[in-house]
């Protein structure tokens, strides 16, 4: 079993839709949770960063962590074509190395 | 803030050539830098972790004599692919972080060995 599982997609949605991206993880020691966005032929860009359980909102993006079920989510409201990219979830125990999901490819259709 | 610059962005060279890739943290001093390799439609594969002034820690299966990492300062790490062959062709990405904060990534280097 991989430490972090993520559906690779692709996920296609119409412009304006609410997007839900999800990951599950297996290591209960993970305390830090990140979402990165990666455009084609570019490096990942940090979108959201949360510590422990709970929600965090930044503009159209909301990150959610449920440590009891080892489930992390990223919601994108009012999705735009510019949101089309691969989204990577990532977790770590702090100073330890980061474990990445395989990424979900999102396409927002105008 | 937290900008990581990676250079060059694209390299095409002949088999047997050694290639050096630079990774710089532009507006912060990174305690740790990481080197990843990414194959098409796959996630990031960690190659090595490097702390300033000390030897890099390589992941299992990564040849340290093949992929030389130097981390001479808190803002610069280099990856040298020695005697590169076509199977070394890939997308190489560096990242940097301060303490236990999230990593920030460079824009990657696309390496093609002919």
Summarised one tens digit per residue, pLDDT across range A53-91 is 889 999 999 999 999 999 999 999 999 999 999 999 999
Instruction: Look up residue A3 and give its two tokens.
Output: 């430490």
| Neighbour-count burial for A67-99, b at 16+ CB within 10 Å, e otherwise | eeebebbbbbeebeeebbbbbbbbbbeeeeebb
Q: What is the mean pLDDT of residues A96-106?
A: 90
Average pLDDT rounded to a whole number, residues B74-83: 94
What is the average pLDDT score of chain B? Answer: 92
Test B100 with A88 for CB contact under 8 angstroms.
no
Chain B: give the shortest CA distance to residue A80, in Å. 22
Report pLDDT for A46: 94
Overall average pLDDT of the B35-55 stretch: 89
Query: Which one of A41, A94, A101 has the shortest CB-CB distance to B100?
Result: A94
pLDDT at A51: 87
Residue B37 has pLDDT above 80, yes or no: yes
């Amino acid at each position: 079993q991989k430490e972090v599982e993520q559906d690779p997609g692709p996920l296609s949605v119409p412009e304006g839709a609410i997007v839900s991206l999800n990951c599950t993880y297996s290591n209960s020691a993970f305390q830090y949770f990140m979402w990165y966005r990666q455009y084609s032929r570019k490096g990942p860009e940090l979108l959201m960063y949360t510590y422990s359980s709970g929600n965090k909102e930044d503009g159209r993006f909301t990150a959610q962590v449920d440590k009891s079920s080892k489930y992390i989510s990223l919601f994108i409201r009012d999705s735009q074509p510019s949101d089309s990219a691969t989204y990577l979830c990532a977790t770590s125990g702090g100073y330890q190395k980061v474990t990445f999901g395989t990424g979900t490819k999102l396409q927002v259709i105008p | 803030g937290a900008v990581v610059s990676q250079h060059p962005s694209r390299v095409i060279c002949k088999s047997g050539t050694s290639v050096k890739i630079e990774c710089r943290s532009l507006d912060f001093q990174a305690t740790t830098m990481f080197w990843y390799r990414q194959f098409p439609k796959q996630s990031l594969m960690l190659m090595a972790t490097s702390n300033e002034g000390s030897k890099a820690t390589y992941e299992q299966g990564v040849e340290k004599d093949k992929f030389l990492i130097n981390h001479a300062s808190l803002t610069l790490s280099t990856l040298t692919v020695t005697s590169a062959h076509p199977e070394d062709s890939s997308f190489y990405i560096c990242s940097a972080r301060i303490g236990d904060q999230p990593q920030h990534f460079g824009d990657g280097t696309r390496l093609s060995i002919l």
